[in-house]
């Protein structure tokens, strides 16, 4: 069984389809994770318990997705010393995702939250892998291969441009 190193949390189960993109990345890199709903507004005690016990449970990074007012990533970052990656989610009650993005990216001094683009859970998963790769040569090699594959994709796209000329 994989050691659980990344916590993936979200404010509501309606955020799960977006946050599953991070799971797909972590699965590809064989990184263990946990996945749960932890609402800053509806269950603040659960959020506090999650953040205060994360490190002792073996987590190294927390990915927190939230829509609307999007307080979850910042509140968790205020409690834990672990890196927190915020995923702003364009939800049914958001202002096209802008409110979530600004809420997460505009943190006060001393409360950093690494923030990806709106609905950018895939990049949040990759950022978590990159952070873990600083102390994991296997992950570093896998990321190096991903970069090479991306380069090869671009090269292949250039080969097909002649058909547009």
Amino acid 103: pLDDT: 92
* 100 known member of a binding site: no
119 and 163 share a domain? Answer: no
For residue 111, the domain's CATH number is 3.40.50.1970
Q: How does residue 128 score in pLDDT terms, banded at 50, 70 and 90?
A: very high
Residues 87, 74, single domain; the answer is yes
For residue 54, the SS3 value is coil
pLDDT at residue number 165: 64
Provide the number of structural domains found in the chain: 2
Domain shared by 83 and 109, yes or no: yes
CA dist., res. 91 & res. 77, Å (int): 22
Q: 42 a known binding residue?
A: yes
**Host domain of residue 99:** 4-134
Q: Is 94 annotated as a binding residue?
A: no
Assess whether pLDDT exceeds 70 at residue 1. Answer: no
Q: Report, as an integer, the average pLDDT of 128-146.
A: 96
Choose among 70, 155, 146, 147: nearest CA to 115.
Answer: 70
- Structure confidence by residue, pLDDT tens digits, 5-51: 999 999 999 999 999 999 999 999 999 999 999 999 999 999 999 99
The CA-to-CA distance between both ends of the chain, in Å, stands at: 52
């Amino acid at each position: 069984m994989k050691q659980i190193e990344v916590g993936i949390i979200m404010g509501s189960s309606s955020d799960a389809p977006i946050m599953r993109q991070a799971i797909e990345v972590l699965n590809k890199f064989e990184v263990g994770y946990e996945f749960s709903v932890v609402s800053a507004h509806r269950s603040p005690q659960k959020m506090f318990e999650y953040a205060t016990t994360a490190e002792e449970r073996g987590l190294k990074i927390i990915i927190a997705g939230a829509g609307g007012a999007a307080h979850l990533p910042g509140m968790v970052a205020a409690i834990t010393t672990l890196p927190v990656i915020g995923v702003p989610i364009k939800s049914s009650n958001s202002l096209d995702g802008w409110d979530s993005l600004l809420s997460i990216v505009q943190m006060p001094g001393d409360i950093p939250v690494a923030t990806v683009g709106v609905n950018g859970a895939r990049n949040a998963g990759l950022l978590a892998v990159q952070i873990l790769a600083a102390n994991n040569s296997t992950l570093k090699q896998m990321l190096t291969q991903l970069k090479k594959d991306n380069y090869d994709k671009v090269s292949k796209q250039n080969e097909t441009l002649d058909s547009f000329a």
